[in-house]
Amino acid sequence: MKENLEIRQIDPSLHNADLAPIPVDKRRWGWFEIFNVWANDVQSLFGYTLAASLFITYGLNGWAVFAAIILAGVFVMLLVNLSGNPSVRYGIPYPVMARASMGVRGANFPAMIRGIVAIFWYGVQTYFASTAIALLINALFGIEESRTLLGMTAVDWLSFVLVWLFQIFLFWQGIGWITRFLNWAGPFVYLVMIALMIVIWVQAGGGLLDAVGTIFSGSSSYTGSDFSAFMAIMGTMIAYFAAVVINFGDFSRFVRNHAQMRLGNLLGLPFNLALFSFIALFVTAGTLVLFGETLTNPADIVERVDHKLLTVVAAITFFAATVGINLVANFIPPAYDLANLMPSRISFRIGGLITAVIAFFIGGLWVSLVSQIGIAGFVNTLGAVLAPVYGIMMADYYIIQRRHLDIQALFSAKPGSRYYFNGGWNLRAVCAFVLGSLFSVASVWLPALEVLSGYSWVMGAVIGGVLHLLFMSVARS
């Protein structure tokens, strides 16, 4: 059904050109662009490091970890098909979509929570992208330096600043440039990863194929059952994608139709994760065979392989993939979220600059401070904070709103309008979010709830959605 996306009365406190619905005839994305959003997300240096660490952390058979990661991809695909649907239909970004459940003013709350999480991710991914540039500089010029500041050498800091500036430049060129950058980076990174796998496989010898299933078994201190380990791996991978799952509408609003979005999600998630995890499994196992230790950062692996041409090409492509997803998943969302706070004063570009400045300090402190809590804990905590927002928005759209939004009311601060609620805030949805977040974050950090840590995102989303439905039904009765 074709929706009327015209806004008749514009409230400047809720509207600017970046937040307005995109008409169908102005959308340019198809399945390939959506595929590349996921391809670059998975192929980033942080994505590889997370996947590789999961093979090591739980001491499971390598093939069991492989299966858990793919199942997580299937689950995430189902989630983003749900969250992307309303933005394909109405052409609106995530912070505007949130107004339907949280209120036209209350939507600033989940939007800023998402923005804060994205800024954290942006800083961390900027650091990981900079390690590829540092690898390139060291490979070309043979620089060796032991002095560090906050755990980083002068080359590390130079690389970090260069990546930070390059991302601002690319962002400033607009979504067209970013899309072209992604479409080039995604497929090319696969060629390099496959080449790396072949080099590792040849050097490790023919026994690697037999070893991948057992080489990680019993190699960790994890004391839970194999089943709980399997579910924890799934939960961690779901949490990794959680930030994009929440605001997938920021991307699906550019897609021409639902069929293109679903095809892009199918190819970009389960199929893409299967190929990527296969490569990660063999490369990680190969590093243990070759070097006697498991290396999880591709930059470190390429450096150990000692093949100069591969090092240069790999450094460029790892940099490109990490920068690509960083712009799409961690720069664009907070730019929208900050613009949603004061649309008349903060544009999309100004929101992006604010994001970059804050993220600079987070990325600069990654080695010395942020990383000390551990990758799995970092991913699960950020995912747990966001989880109830997803449940609330989906329960509201599909059950309470019955898939029908009043576009005019989403941009209206007039008392009595459909999404005005109490002074622009739906306090029932806010309460559902707070209660859901408390539980899901507690499941990550409290020892008594440790057994639930792998399921924190799913449980937080379910609790948020159920509480929202309960509170809204009580209000109507």
pLDDT tens per residue across span 82-117: 999 999 999 999 989 999 999 999 998 888 877 887
Q: What is the mean pLDDT of residues 387-397?
A: 94
Question: How far apart, in whole angstroms, are the C-alpha atoms of residue 6 and residue 154?
Answer: 53
Q: Which amino acid is at 185?
A: A
Token pair for 289: 């065979």
Q: Hey, what are 277's tokens?
A: 């995890």
Beta strands in 141-234 (DSSP E): none
Q: Mean pLDDT of all residues in the chain? A: 83
CA–CA dist 462, 468 (Å, integer):
10
**Cα gap 384→463, rounded to integer Å:** 11
Burial class (CB in 10 A: 0-12, 13-18, 19+), 100: buried
Q: In sequence order, what are the residues at sequence separation of 6 or more whose Cβ sits closer than 8 angstroms to the Cβ of residue 447?
A: none
Per-residue model confidence (pLDDT) at position 375? 58
CB 215 within 8 A of CB 285: yes
Q: How many CB atoms lie within 10 A of CB 110?
A: 27
What does residue 290 show for φ and ψ, rounded to 5 degrees? -80, -45
Banded pLDDT at 444 (limits 50, 70, 90): confident
CA distances from 472 to 78, 102, 403, 422, 439 (A): 25, 11, 17, 13, 20
Give the residue carrying structure tokens 């509201």.
Answer: 396
- C-alpha pair distances (Å), 66 with each of 51, 270, 428: 9, 11, 40
pLDDT, tens digit, 9 for 90 and up, residues 126-149: 998 898 888 888 878 877 777 788
Q: What is the C-alpha to C-alpha distance for residues 88 and 96, in angstroms, rounded to an integer?
A: 13
pLDDT number for residue 220: 61
Predicted pLDDT of residue 171: 81
218 pLDDT exceeds 80? Answer: no
Q: Which residue has the higher pLDDT, 23 or 50?
A: 23
Rounded Cα–Cα distance for residues 378 and 219 (Å): 22
Q: Which domains does the chain have, with CATH numbers?
A: 24-374 (1.10.4160.10)
348, amino acid identity? F
User: What are φ and ψ of residue 272, in 5° steps?
Assistant: -65, -45
Structure tokens at 150: 């906050």
Distance CA 284, CA 337 (A): 38
- In the chain the first and final C-alpha atoms are separated, in Å, by 32
Residue 1 has pLDDT above 60, yes or no: no
Token pair 């793919």 in the structure block, residue = 70
- Number of CB atoms found within 10 A of residue 78's CB: 10
Please give the angle made by the CA atoms of 251, 17 and 393, to the nearest 5 degrees.
45
* Alpha-carbon gap, residue 96 to 14, rounded angstroms: 9
Pair of tokens at residue 417? 């309008």
C-alpha R_g of the chain: 22
Nearest to 318 by CA among 448, 475, 136: 136
Model confidence, pTM: 0.82
Q: What is the rounded average pLDDT of the residues 34-56?
A: 79
